[in-house]
């Protein structure tokens, strides 16, 4: 089976504080986008996992969430099988776009279909939550308000149509570090909501600590927001991707980004998935 594993953006992200279990309580509006990894997955007789990945920066061993998802699925269902997974990566790691989490969810969904185990979406989300906070969101791949540590989902309904330009500098940002840095700021007050997408106020509490360390990101965000093709710009998740909501053509903007910031930036155009038709 070949399955798509889409990226996501956070249109709103509020950090509420640290929980007793060490995670941070959040409330975030996440939306899938049309940028996606592509995963080939096959099952056969035997045991074990074979994982190949097109991006040498992504580990192809038991530390990869896709590998861990296959292991967790076998344990949950009691089935014995050999899994072969090939990841064709289009979503960069450490980007705040959820690529690893989406890959893991796609593996769970694909194995459920291939093995005809008939786990419900609720059951798959519960299994996904044991692997990572963002992974349950990608089981259904629809806009959702995510609470708790991210695993409690409420369908958000269709979003306004929007074309996006994703821009990632050549460095990742660790999600664990970003939340730790937020806490070190003394639980700062959330900034006032910035611009809007329809009636959705766009904001990200993690911008404050991340921007203090990675000084290119606030410069990039501010520059993007000033461009005539852009109605709003914001960092996604813990970064390092900054996305622009477009009201004009992407290509001229992408060219000016390369001239202003260098050809080493990763730039991709996409649209919100699950938008209103």
* Residues annotated as catalytic (active site), given as ranges: 8, 134
Residues in the chain: 277
- The strand ranges marked E within 100-213 are 144-147, 152-155, 163-168, 196-197, 200-201, 203-204
- Decide if 94 contacts 172 (C-beta within 8 A): yes
- Decide if 249 contacts 269 (C-beta within 8 A): no
- Decide if 211 contacts 17 (C-beta within 8 A): no
Task: Give the integer Cα–Cα distance in Å for 59 and 236.
Answer: 23
Task: Give the integer Cα–Cα distance in Å for 203 and 233.
Answer: 10
For residue 44, count CB atoms less than 10 angstroms from its CB and return exposed for 0-12, middle for 13-18, buried for 19 or more.
exposed
List C-alpha distances in Å: 19 to 47, 52, 54, 58, 118: 38, 36, 37, 30, 34
């Amino acid at each position: 089976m070949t399955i798509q594993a889409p990226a996501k953006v956070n249109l709103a992200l509020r950090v509420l504080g640290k929980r007793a279990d060490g995670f941070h309580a959040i409330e975030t509006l996440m939306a899938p986008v049309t940028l996606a990894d592509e995963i080939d997955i096959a099952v056969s007789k035997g045991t074990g996992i074979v994982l190949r990945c097109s991006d040498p920066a992504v580990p192809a061993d038991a530390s990869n969430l896709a590998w861990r998802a296959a292991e967790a699925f076998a344990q949950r269902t009691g089935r014995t099988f050999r899994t072969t997974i090939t990841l064709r990566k289009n979503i960069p790691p450490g980007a705040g776009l959820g690529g690893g989490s989406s890959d893991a969810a796609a593996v769970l969904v694909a194995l459920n279909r291939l093995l005809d185990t008939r786990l419900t979406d609720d059951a798959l989300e519960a299994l996904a939550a044991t692997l990572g906070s963002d992974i349950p969101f990608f089981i259904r791949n629809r806009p959702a308000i995510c609470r708790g540590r991210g695993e409690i989902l409420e369908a958000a309904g269709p979003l306004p149509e929007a074309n996006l330009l994703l821009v990632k500098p050549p460095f990742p940002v660790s999600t664990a570090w970003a939340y730790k840095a937020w806490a070190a700021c003394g639980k700062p007050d959330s900034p006032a909501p910035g611009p809007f997408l329809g009636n959705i106020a766009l904001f990200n509490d993690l911008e404050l600590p991340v921007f203090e360390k990675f000084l290119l990101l606030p410069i990039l965000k501010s520059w993007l927001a000033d461009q005539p093709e852009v109605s709003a710009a914001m960092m996604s998740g813990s970064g390092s991707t900054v996305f622009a909501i477009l009201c004009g053509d992407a290509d001229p903007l992408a060219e000016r980004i390369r001239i202003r910031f260098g050809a080493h930036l990763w730039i991709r155009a996409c649209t919100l998935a699950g938008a209103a038709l």
